[in-house]
Amino acid sequence: MADSIPHGGNLREAARRHDIALADWLDLSTGINPFGYPVPPVPPDAWRRLPEDDDGVAACAARYYGAESALPVAGSQAVIRVLPALLKGGVAAVAPLTYGEYAPAFARAGHRIVTLDTDADDLPDAVDHVIVANPNNPTAARLSRDTLLRWHAQLARRGGTLIVDEAFADVDPGASLADIATRDGLVVLRSVGKFFGLAGIRAGFVLAAPDVQRALRDTLGAWTVGGPARHAVQAAFADLDWQRDTRARLHRDGARLGALLASHGFDLRSTPLFSWMPTPDAAALQHALAQRGIWTRLFALPEMTTSLRIGLPGADGDWARLERALADLCA
């Protein structure tokens, strides 16, 4: 059965809906780096041999994240689907607008879902688990390390868990909890797809206490990340010059996108990888951009103002195309 939870990157659906050839689209519907890491040629053995746990990928990831250990997984998505069943049953607090997979996954595992007040100093006594993305997708909101540490301490005392999705943290890792992720009651999820622009390899890492990693490894089974993906990860994590240059470029491009949208009167929040605009006209704006072959991500919840997330253009021609489209629409 097809997954009913909407995501960005559904470009083929957009092409069918608007009758525009797939090759003619500019896809800004995700927060993925448009200039992905240039993976070196894959060794033939990576295709022929089964992946081996002692090939150095986990240790390489631990060094990159500044963590004690790291469990390779087929992207955060695989973990989101199985982790809730490994935690004690209870009440799970999720932000009203965040990555859409969390609430359904916890609900399927029998947890009761409540709305998380991200401005609260203290968590309600009834909450057992808190799930946050930092920075948040799509609102770009950021929680301080102090806030996360306070929430973790409160949850740990009651046998609960703080799950922090740091998929967009690579550009600004200052608030990351990777260095303390082995503490009881803390799980940190990291993604290779966003900053490195390698979403297609489906690779991520779980930073958590050893017993949590063992439980996830036993549940997910062997060979969760294939040989070519492991090759790409090791190369990307070892390339410090590329990482430094990419962080600088993403900060410049993120600021450029925010300034472009603000110049047309939009109120927005930004990360270096995307901008988010809450506006009652979000659906009409998405449709108008789509008619020009520019795909964006619409968020429409009954209890919230509609909003639009726009990712970074890549080539100069892509920037010019977005600028022309916004100028036409706002004229």
pLDDT tens by residue, 69-90: 999 999 988 999 999 999 999 9
Query: What's the number of CA atoms in the CB half-sphere (13 Å) around residue 298?
Result: 17
Q: Range of 128's domain? A: 44-238
Phi, psi of 92 (to 5 degrees): -115, 125
Same-domain check for residues 118 and 218: yes
Decide if 59 is inside a domain: yes
Mean pLDDT within 102-117: 96
Rounded to whole angstroms, the Cα distance separating 239 from 230 reads 14
Q: Which of 177, 203, 238 is the last residue of a domain?
A: 238
Mean pLDDT within 184-205: 97
Decide if 6 is inside a domain: no
Q: What is the largest CA-CA distance in the chain?
A: 59
**Nearest of 211, 170, 210 to residue 190 by alpha carbon:** 170
pLDDT at 173: 87
Percent of the chain with pLDDT over 90: 91
CATH (domain of 298): 3.90.1150.10
Q: Which of 238, 263, 298 is the last residue of a domain?
A: 238
Give the burial string for 34-64 (b: 16+ CB within 10 Å, else e).
bebbebeeeeeebeeeebeeebebbebbbeb
Would the CA dihedral through 27, 302, 109, 127 be positive or negative? Answer: positive
Same-domain check for residues 97 and 231: yes
Decide if 282 is inside a domain: yes
Decide if 1 is inside a domain: no
pLDDT beyond 60 at 58: yes
Q: What is the mean pLDDT of the chain?
A: 94
pLDDT bracket for residue 3 (50, 70, 90): low
Same-domain check for residues 70 and 151: yes
Same-domain check for residues 23 and 49: no
Verify cis geometry, omega within 30 degrees of 0, for the bond prior to 135.
Answer: yes
Decide if 29 is inside a domain: yes
Same-domain check for residues 217 and 307: no
Same-domain check for residues 173 and 25: no
Same-domain check for residues 257 and 226: no
CATH (domain of 196): 3.40.640.10
Same-domain check for residues 150 and 299: no
Same-domain check for residues 277 and 183: no
Same-domain check for residues 142 and 291: no
Q: Which of 186, 211, 238 is the last residue of a domain?
A: 238
Decide if 223 is inside a domain: yes
Decide if 5 is inside a domain: no
Total Cβ atoms within 10 A of residue 307: 22
Same-domain check for residues 51 and 154: yes
Alpha helices (H) in the chain, listed in sequence order: 11-18, 44-48, 57-65, 75-86, 102-108, 145-157, 210-220, 227-238, 240-263, 282-291, 316-330
**Nearest of 67, 29, 252 to residue 166 by alpha carbon:** 67
- This prediction's pTM: 0.94
Same-domain check for residues 276 and 253: yes
DSSP 8-state assignment for residue 43: P
pLDDT beyond 90 at 321: yes
Tell me if 268 sits within 8 A of 275, measured CB to CB: yes
pLDDT beyond 80 at 47: yes
* Domain tally, the chain: 2
pLDDT at 4: 67
Decide if 187 is inside a domain: yes
Rounded to whole angstroms, the Cα distance separating 168 from 195 reads 7
